[in-house]
Homo-oligomer: A and B are copies of this chain.
Amino acid sequence: MGHMSTTSGPATGSRIRMSPESRREQLLELGTQLLSTRTLDEISIEVLAEEAGISRGLLYHYFGNKQEFHLAVVRRAVEQLVAITAPRDIEDPLEQLAVSIGAYLDYVVENYTGYVSLVRAAAGGNEELRAIYEEGRRALTDRIFEVTGPAGLDALGLSDSPTMRLLVNGWAAMLEVVIIDWVHDPRGIAREDLLGRLARALPGIVLA
């Protein structure tokens, strides 16, 4: 076996031994970063290991397989998304809604490529992967409504029924698509105008 570095890699054969928590953290962080550049399944074990400066084998020590690693990365990305888009409270329900949507939109603007990768990965992925994303989306919409009091909900035309849930879910899907589209190319549409329209679209849909 060659002692010297064959072609690349750290010249020193010194391994870096970290605590399991730190290592796991590093790998997840790296994974979410890479998600901004590449598609989820373009993050090969090989690339990941090379970037992290570890052997491929170690990834299998921490995450059972590639699939599990992907799940962990998406879970992490969703958590960040939910955490960052924190709500504020305002008296007018529609205004409140618009502000919440605005926070969401700002996040997408900041992390466009990563966000798009996340959405696409979730949409095209397997059951488990989608479940994680769906849960995150529900957390977002639920939170929007939690802040709005009962009176506000009434003002938005919202009540709790299967039909309402179906439509609100549809409205959330519309949000995603329109926001991605707008961030990609605003076509002269003003941010505030868009937010207002998206907010008013909710009663527009459920009251129709």
Give the interface of A toward B (CB within 8 A): 39, 120-121, 123-126, 162-163, 166-167, 169-171, 173-178, 181-182, 187-189, 193-194, 197, 200-201, 203-205, 207-208
Contacts and interface: CB of A to CB of B under 8 A. Distances in A.
Nearest to A173: B177
A167 B205 contact: no
Contacts of A167: 178, 197, 201
Contacts of A205: 174, 197, 201, 204-205
Nearest to A40: B124
Question: For the complex, would chain A's binding face be called helix, strand, loop or mixed by DSSP majority?
Answer: helix
Given A120-B124, A163-B197, A166-B181, 12 more contacts: A123-B123, A123-B124, A163-B193, A163-B194, A166-B178, A166-B182, A169-B178, A170-B175, A197-B205, A200-B208, A204-B205, A204-B207
A170 B177 contact: yes
A162 B189 contact: yes
Nearest to A177: B173
A205 B162 CA distance: 20
